[in-house]
Amino acid sequence: MIKGQRNNTFVYLIDITYKYSMNSFYEFYGYNIPYSLIEQESYVELKQMVHEMINDKIKFRKYNREGMILTLKVEFTNDEKEKFVYLLEKNQFKFLHNYTIKDFRILKNEENE
């Protein structure tokens, strides 16, 4: 569990990624701006959006990275999760750097160990 745990929360995973190919990334940003910098800015941007739109007590942690996908670990109450899903379905998460939320799922027990 994430430190500073709140009551009645469940752990979820959020995958974020650049919307387009790496070639498109380098065409737009060039080779002087590292992918990791834009990824970090997008991670912070998602945290800020969630804090502003849902609850500023929600904790995020980086969980995994596979290729261009950064997986984040987050704890939501049921109400927070429902609001997140609603905002996700309504496409309310607007990233500055063409990032997108690729997947949202609950963390299974075997993944948590």
pTM for this model (two decimals): 0.89
Q: What is the pLDDT of residues 56-101, one digit of tens each?
A: 999 999 999 999 999 999 999 999 999 999 999 999 999 999 999 9
Per-domain residue ranges for the chain? 19-72+90-112
CB 12 within 8 A of CB 76: yes
Which residue type does 5 have? Answer: Q
Q: What is the DSSP string of 53-106?
A: HT-TT--EEEEEEETTEEEEEEEE-HHHHHHHHHHHHTT----TTSEEEEEEEE
- Give the integer Cα–Cα distance in Å for 65 and 4: 24
Q: What is the pLDDT of residues 3-34, one digit of tens each?
A: 456 889 999 999 999 999 999 999 999 999 99
